[in-house]
Structure formats: C-alpha cells, structure tokens
C-alpha cells in the first residue's frame, strides 16, 4: 500500500536504537526524509534519506539548537516524539531532581519541539504528531514511578492538543508499546533478574507468559503501526492511543 508520504519530512527523536531506529528505517523506506536525532547521532549511519542530528533532550539549550536547525530547514511534516525511558524505582523517596529531570527529558522537550513545528504544519494544512508512550499510561507498571507519572502528563498533553489542531489537517496520536524487544527492555529484564536473584531467561519466560501472544513484539511490528499513523490514509485517526502490546494490557 502506498502511504502517500513520499517526499515529506520527518523528525524522529530517540532514533539511534530501539523503537526510534525502527521508525526511522520504516519512514525512510516510504520515501520520507528523516532527521534522526539522539545524543549519539554519530552512531546513526547517514543515507540518502536519513540525516543524523545530535540532541540531548535533557538539556533545554540543546533542544533550542535543534529547533533552530529544523526551522532553518523549513520544519517537518511528521514528528515522532520519543525519548529514553527514565530510571526504574518507586514513588516513595523519589527526589524532586529526578522528577524534574524526567519531566525535562520526556515531556518539556517534546512539548517545545512540537510547539515549534506546529506553525509550519498549520500553514501547510498537514501534519502528523506521534508520541511514543507505554502500556504504563493505561496500566501503571510497578517500580517505574517516573515513567508512569511523566507519561500520564504527556498523554493529557497529546489528547488536549489533538482537539486544538484537528481542523488544520494535523493528527495527534500516541502509540503505546507493551514489551517490544529492544535494548531498553533487555536492560530492565536484567535489572529485575538481579533484584529478584533469578536468571534473565526466567524473567523473560515469566514476562512472555503475561502476554497473550506469548512473545515480545519486534521493533518492526511497532514501527509499522507508527508509520501507518503517519500516513495520509490515517487522516481521520486523531486523539487516539494505539496499543502495540500483543494483548498484554488487560483493561478495556
């Protein structure tokens, strides 16, 4: 199926590995020119369609520099808001520094970048804003306090923005990963194994047993959904949170 986005421009945040890298590759395969941003942009191989860009989302001045570069390039049509996940830990005893740091890296930076890209999208009467969340937005995950708390704020922001810009041909959606096999998920499984004194294989086996499909998803399966939301065909999907979780979230 031709998604009718060839020739569009995109920014993918958190593009050096995992979900962001898979979305970058999938958009480029559709003929989209992608600015692929991460702290370690030098690890992203540049191609005819992929332009690596360095940014640190935890640093407001780095975000300002990214916005200036994007504006000089005429903005983007497709924005994939993604970031690294914060440190695991409980609510009890979290420092205000940790909360503020997580909010800057996962929320404030994407609010600023989105706000800066919207005037161009409004002028062109077309835009796609897709924010990567987590199953924790629907069903908070134990011991991921910073992630659960900040992502709930991001979900409220995304839903509110969807109504504000819908009449300009701009859709605003979230994609919620359950357990997709990336480095981050392997790291979290490793931490859990250490904490519980079991092997990583045992942790992964227990995790697979909680997922109706009986397996973790692949980054490509996740990227396919994000890219569909970026397509011209997805023009009537806005304000949605689409789960890509193999049925893991139990609630309706």
Ligand X SMILES: NC(=O)c1ccc[n+]([C@@H]2O[C@H](COP(=O)([O-])OP(=O)(O)OC[C@H]3O[C@@H](n4cnc5c(N)ncnc54)[C@H](OP(=O)(O)O)[C@@H]3O)[C@@H](O)[C@H]2O)c1
Give the residues lining the site for ligand X (CB under 6 A): 14-20, 38-40, 55-58, 82-85, 105, 132, 134, 177, 179-180, 182-185
Task: Output the six-digit token pair for 17.
Answer: 């590995």
Q: Nearer to ligand X by C-beta: 9 or 179?
A: 179
Length reported for the chain: 252
Q: Nearer to ligand X by C-beta: 25 or 165?
A: 25
> What is the C-alpha to C-alpha distance for residues 33 and 182, in angstroms, rounded to an integer?
24
CB of 95 to ligand X, least distance (A): 18
CB of 133 to ligand X, least distance (A): 7
CB of 235 to ligand X, least distance (A): 25
Task: Output the six-digit token pair for 223.
Answer: 């990227």
> What is the C-alpha to C-alpha distance for residues 239 and 197, in angstroms, rounded to an integer?
42
Residue 115: exposure state from Cβ atoms within 10 A (0-12, 13-18, ≥19)? exposed
Task: Output the six-digit token pair for 181.
Answer: 């096999």
The residue sitting closest to ligand X, measured at its beta carbon, is 18
Q: Nearer to ligand X by C-beta: 101 or 239?
A: 101
Q: Which residue has the tokens 């031709």?
A: 2
Q: Nearer to ligand X by C-beta: 131 or 238?
A: 131
CB of 48 to ligand X, least distance (A): 21
């Amino acid at each position: 199926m031709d998604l009718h986005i060839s020739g569009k421009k995109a920014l993918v945040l958190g593009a050096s590995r995992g979900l962001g890298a898979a979305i970058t590759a999938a958009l480029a395969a559709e003929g989209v020119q992608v600015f692929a941003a991460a702290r370690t942009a030098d690890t992203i191989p540049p191609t005819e369609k992929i332009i690596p860009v360095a940014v640190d989302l935890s640093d407001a001045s780095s975000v300002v520099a990214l916005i200036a570069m994007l504006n000089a390039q005429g903005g983007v049509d497709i924005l994939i808001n993604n970031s690294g996940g914060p440190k695991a830990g409980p609510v009890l005893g979290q420092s205000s520094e940790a909360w503020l740091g997580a909010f800057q890296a996962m929320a404030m930076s994407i609010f600023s970048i989105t706000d800066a890209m919207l005037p161009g999208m409004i002028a062109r009467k077309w835009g796609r804003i897709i924010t990567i969340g987590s199953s924790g937005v629907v069903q908070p995950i134990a011991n991921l306090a910073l992630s659960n708390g900040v992502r709930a704020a991001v979900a409220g922001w995304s839903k509110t923005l969807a109504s504000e810009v819908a009449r300009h041909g701009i859709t605003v959606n979230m994609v919620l990963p359950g357990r997709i096999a990336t480095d981050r998920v392997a790291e979290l499984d490793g931490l859990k194994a250490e904490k519980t004194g079991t092997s990583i294989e045992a942790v992964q086996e227990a995790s697979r047993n909680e997922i109706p499909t009986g397996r973790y998803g692949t980054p490509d399966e996740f990227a396919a959904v994000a890219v569909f939301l970026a397509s011209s065909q997805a023009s009537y999907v806005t304000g949605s949170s689409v789960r890509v979780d193999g049925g893991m979230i139990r609630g309706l």
